[in-house]
Amino acid sequence: MWRIARDSRKLDLNSSYAYLLWCHDFAETSAVARVGRQVVGFVIGYLRPDAPDVVVVWQIAVDAAWSGRGVAGAMLDHLVRRTSDRGARHLETTITEDNDASIGLFGSLAARCGTTMVRSPLFQSSQFPDDHPSEDLYRIGPFQRARSRAST
């Protein structure tokens, strides 16, 4: 995961320890895509402590060799199914305004789920102590529970 995040040149790179800890503590709200033993993508998220019906996607990335093959969309679909079964009704993520690929990815998720995606400002670049660009909040939902969708 650390290698994929580093090589993406888009994500804020966390320490290798942080990715291991994330997998340990937030395995239920994260996913890893593998081909054989090789990790080719990951999504890491958490249920918001003050709003447990919201799953927050912290990072999602796919190895460049597997880009464009639907890996990211499949991981998000899996995450929505898994977390909606646990009560999540919305997904939130932050995206910089220049990241058209991520905006498209999450827009496609909203379309596949037959729900809406709403963008609003969240963190302005002036709030960061470095040259980090502004981050907009994208909220997708509401989602139906996975079990009720399967029974219809």
DSSP state of 125: G
pLDDT in tens, 12-21: 899 999 999 9
Q: What would the mean pLDDT of 97-118 be, rounded to a whole number?
A: 96
Domains of the chain: 2-151 (3.40.630.30)
Instruction: Tell me the mean pLDDT in the region 87-91.
Output: 96
Phi and psi, residue 40, nearest 5°: -115, -5
pLDDT tens, residue by residue, 8-54: 988 889 999 999 999 999 999 999 999 999 999 999 999 999 999 99
